[in-house]
Structure formats: structure tokens, C-alpha cells
Amino acid sequence: MLRWLILSLLLIPLFDARAAGDEAAVRATFAAYKAAVLAQQGERAADNVTTGTLREYARYRELALSAPRAALEALPMTERLQVLIIRARVPAADLRAMDGRRVFTHAVDRGWIGREGVERSELGTVQVDGDRAAARLKIGATELPVDFEFEREPGGWRFNLIPLTTMSEDVFKQLARQNGVSENEMVMTLLRGLSEAPVDERLWDPPTP
């Protein structure tokens, strides 16, 4: 019994040190991602997001190139918007030459990914659970009930952007209800607000091969 007690006392500081190191690494990852986005440095930003995030951008690319209107309408509003933004902003010939990482870096390079939001964002309380971590979003001195998610991957901690897209779904649905419009009409309204060039209903159809 005494041996186990001594062993436990020796191990507790080791676990505490690892937890503190993980928290610091999570904060460093977010800081690096934020700096890259604000500087519009796509490759640096991509180095700090999860492989799952980049796979999702590969899926958006495939949908932008090939999905018919019916397939897009079956997607959540947030995904419809992501796909249509890519169609509106990236010529099909350029998109065909890209993979998911290149789509992501292209968007960061041009300031299309969250510059305004990330500029005000800081990490509040960080909770580490094995190879996953959740960090409260902090704006100024206030922690909000919103968690940023991180995953430990080979090479270190990475920021998972996909849950942020999912979080927006309820907000978009509520906006559609409040304005008395369909989901597709709300998607187009949001798209027009984000697009530099005029967009119309033809965007729902995939580009010609």
C-alpha cells in the first residue's frame, strides 16, 4: 500500500506537467492559426488545422464541381453556402487543379476565411481530454458558451474548424424563419452579401465540364 501511495504522489506532478504542456500547445496552435489568417498566409494556416478540416474542403471542392441542385438542397444550409461560395469565387478550371488543402490555402490567401471573427477571438479556459481539447471562446474579458475544438495529430495539436460551420446552422435557419424566406433564399442572400461579383440562380447548377 505504501509503495502505491508513493508511486501515485510521484506520478501526479508528471500528469499535471503534461496537461499544462498540452494547454500551452493548444494555445500556441490557435495563436499560429490566427496570425496566419490575419496575414493571409494560407500554407501556415493549413499547417495548424486538422486533417479532417482539409478533407472537408476536399469534399466541398467535389460538390462544387459536380453536385446538381437537388444534391445541394439536401445538404445543411452551411454546407450549401460553402459550396456555392467556392463556385462563385473559384473558376472551375482552377478548382479542378486543386486538392482540399489548396482550396483552403487559396481561401486564406485571399482573406475569405474568418478574418473579422478571428481577429477578436482569444482562448479562454482550455480542457484537455487525451488527444482532444476544447477551449472556450473569449471576446475581450468575456468567455462565451462556445467551444473551439482541437485534436492531437502527428506533429502536434491542430485546430478543427468543422464544428464552427455546424454551429452556424441553427443561426442560418433562424434567420430564414425571421425573414419569412426559404432556406435557399437565405443562402442566396448570404452569398450575395459575401460575393464581389453578381450571382444568380445558375450557380446552383454545376459548371460545365
What domain count does the chain have?
A: 1
Name the 3-class secondary structure at 131: coil
Note whether residue 99 is domain-resident. Answer: yes
Quote the pLDDT of residue 19: 62
Note whether residue 193 is domain-resident. Answer: yes
Own/partner long-range contacts of 40-44 (Cβ < 8 Å, ≥24 apart): 40/108, 40/109, 40/110, 40/111, 40/115, 41/108, 41/109, 42/104, 42/105, 42/106, 42/107, 42/108, 42/109, 43/105
Quote the pLDDT of residue 162: 92
Note whether residue 155 is domain-resident. Answer: yes
- pLDDT tens per residue, the chain (209 residues)? 444 444 444 444 444 445 668 999 999 999 999 999 999 999 999 999 999 999 999 999 999 999 999 999 999 999 999 999 999 999 999 999 999 999 999 999 998 887 777 888 999 999 999 999 999 999 999 999 999 999 999 999 999 999 988 888 988 999 999 999 999 999 999 999 888 788 889 999 999 87
Range of the domain at 71: 14-204
Note whether residue 8 is domain-resident. Answer: no
How do strand 132-139 and strand 121-129 relate by DSSP bridges? Answer: antiparallel
Note whether residue 156 is domain-resident. Answer: yes
Quote the pLDDT of residue 124: 96
